[in-house]
Amino acid sequence: MKAGRSTDGVVYPDVGHQISDLVSQQPDDAQQAEQSRAIEPRQRIDEFQSVVGSAFPKLDRLTKKGFQPLSDLGFIPRPPGWNANPAIFHDPKIGAALRELASSLGSETKLQELADDLVADSQEGPVNMQHFVTSNFGGMVFPAGPEAEDDPVRYAGERSLHTLDELRNTLFDARAGSQEKSSALLQFRAKLGSLGTLGEWIQNSFADMDYLELSRVKTPLLC
């Protein structure tokens, strides 16, 4: 191919002889075989391990070899029979029950008023942890009470093992002492608070879902 001017005015070089040269210089089969042998990957030598081995003490090398995993701090595996992928807010049946629960937890004010009245009548005393555990608890009871910076209701809620039913029985038990009643009232308020927080959380979760659903409907499709 000779150099020439194309119709658009660009001059292209003549490369015809170079192409013919490349064709004539093709290696024969023997040479080709030698070349393919030359690019065969070499046997790899792990130089890293020997370097690491010399740098680490013997104990470390032993522990790194086949060391089996430990459980994480305080970890509890999922109890058998519990669904690994719950979708409680999307399940129509459970969702309806949750809305009803949130509604009753949110609108229930009678018990809260009762607790407030009882608080006004009660005398605050030191916290006795013995009142926080059930009668047949069978473990140790630590004497510590809430620190100055702790919220006493929150503190009671975290440590109380009683149910609302048991606390109601203590509150209305004529034989119970004033300290016991005062402790029961603290726990009662904590339990009501926990249930109220659950109600708020369910309502907020549904409100977030409704908002997302609404924005999805309102937003025009962009594609």
Report the interface residues with another protein, using CB under 8 A.
68-71, 73-79, 82-86, 88, 91, 94, 97-98, 100-101, 103-105, 107-108, 110-111, 114, 132-134, 136-140, 142, 144, 157-159, 161-166, 168-169, 172, 191, 194-195, 197-198, 201
17: its two tokens: 């002889």
Closest approach, Cβ 108 to another protein, in A, equals: 6
Query: What distance in Å separates the CA atoms of residue 5 and residue 16, rounded to the nearest whole number?
Result: 16
User: Measured from the CB of residue 120, what is the shortest distance to another protein in angstroms?
Assistant: 18
Q: How far is the CB of 104 from another protein (least distance, A)?
A: 6
CA angle 156, 159, 161 (to 5 degrees): 105
Please identify, using beta-carbon distances, which residue of 21 and 165 lies nearer to another protein. 165
Q: How far is the CB of 130 from another protein (least distance, A)?
A: 12
Phi, psi of 5 (to 5 degrees): -95, 125
Q: Which amino acid is at 92?
A: P
Choose between 2 and 78: whose C-beta lies nearer to another protein.
78
Nearer to another protein among residue 12 and residue 137 (C-beta): 137
- Cβ-based nearer residue to another protein, 4 or 138: 138
Task: Indicate the residue among 39 and 76 with the shorter CB distance to another protein.
Answer: 76
CB of 85 to another protein, least distance (A): 8
Q: Is the CB of 16 or the CB of 106 nearer to another protein? A: 106
CB of 136 to another protein, least distance (A): 8
- How many angstroms separate the Cα of 156 from the Cα of each of 67, 80, 90, 115, 136? 42, 30, 34, 15, 19
